[in-house]
Amino acid sequence: MLRPHRKRSPRKLLATATALCTAALAGTLFAGSASARPSPAGAPTAARPAAAPQTTAATAQTTAAGTKVVGYFTDWGIYDRNYQVKNIETSGSAAKLTHINYAFGNTQGGRCSIGDAYADYDKAFTADQSVDGKADTWDDPNGLRGNFNQLRKLKKLHPNLKVLWSFGGWTWSGGFSEAAKNPAAFAQSCYDLVKDKRWADVFDGIDIDWEYPNACGLTCDTSGKAAFTNVLKAVRDKFGQGSLVTAAITADASDGGKMDAADYGGAAQYVDWYNAMTYDYFGAWDAKGPTAPHSPLTSYNGIPKAGFNTSDTIAKLKKLGVPANKLLLGIGFYGRGWQGVTQDAAGGTATGAAPGKYEAGIDDYKVIKARCPATGTVGGTAYAKCGDQWWSYDTPQTIGTKMAFKDAQGLGGTFFWELSGDTPNGELIKAIR
């Protein structure tokens, strides 16, 4: 935002110099250089870094980048992970968040449906588990328990905090193919569920997490390029302008990839913003490697696939006509890793996925930071080599670099997957600005 010029004190001059340096750093990132070694012989051709935009430091300084901070909260996190809605408050995360995406509702038979009734609205939380220190009772006159009631209590502490109910996700996107056959019926079912009188005050909108329209995720969709636009239009028409409508979308900017399979530019008019999933570009589903950071900000020499980095993702979405202020930058609060690795730098071979607490090849930031501390950076994110394991993840420092990029690009803000991966004192979310 442009403001009148004022005489600056020495402290303000220092702050201005810092801002100019940050802007210059953000511009440099587009050049795509990294500390990784060149790819070994036979590796796929590296992607060419995106060209640097013609942005002066003064322009970057006055760019009105968005400040949305959206965090996913998973309903299953209250079980083995023992991450409760209360932890959003005690970690200091609630004070940083502008929005929470509650994951996930299901999409069975082309309709929105409950994901986990017990976790969502039935579980009775004890006083020590509750946001306000008051236990749920079976005869409570409001008739609501579970995470929904805890979110209601959290919103009372933070009146400006908004909550969206997210539907789909990797596991439950199969129903979107049916939804595409009758978008109006799908939208009606979602509206009826989100606006149910038992919890209508909890939710401020809906988030559509379709993985992926007219492409393959866990299941494959063949609904056609217009299906995503049709579904979002129906959802917007039903929910109206008084509710938030958002969508999590692919970050695959490769030629002929997932981003080309649907009309993301045309559908953008129906959403308040897109959550561009700029993570999980690479991982141990390629069991033998090459090792590569799962959330690179930029391309680098030896990256396994062109178009698989945040800079290319954002550039392509803009080229498709998505306004910058409708794009949120994605951060993963976790790392991905391999084992059987001998090479320190990215691009090494592996024997398989590294062990993880809940799933092989992936672990929370709060676990990895102590078990396998970062030893270098590549593509604007951190990597760690410990023993025969190789991990990549974001740290507060690399998130700072990504925030500079977000500001330089004029994006609408930041979102992350997901809250339980952070440290108990919210180390990662506190690096988001």
Contact present, 267 and 322 (Cβ < 8 Å): no
DSSP 358-425: SBTTEEEHHHHHHHS---EEETTEEEEEETTEEEEE--HHHHHHHHHHHHHHT--EEEEE-GGGS-TT
The span from the CA of 261 to the CA of 212, in Å, is 9
Radius of gyration of the chain, Cα coordinates, nearest whole angstrom: 22
Q: Choosing from 89, 178, 211, 359, which is the catalytic residue?
A: 211
Nearest to 168 by CA among 270, 249, 272: 249
Contact 339, 353 (CB under 8 A): yes
Q: How many CB atoms lie within 10 A of CB 239?
A: 19
Cβ atoms within 10 Å, residue 139: 5
In whole angstroms, what is the distance from residue 185 CA to residue 189 CA? 6
Report the alpha-carbon distance of residue 298 to residue 47 in Å, rounded.
Answer: 10
| C-alpha distance from residue 273 to each of 52, 182, 200, 208, 285 (Å) | 24, 23, 22, 11, 30
Distance CA 230, CA 183 (A): 7
Tell me, rounded to whole angstroms, the distance of Cα 44 from its chain centroid: 27
Instruction: Write the single-letter amino acid at 127.
Output: A
CA angle 102, 69, 67 (to 5 degrees): 150
**Is 211 known to be catalytic?**
yes
Catalytic residues: 211
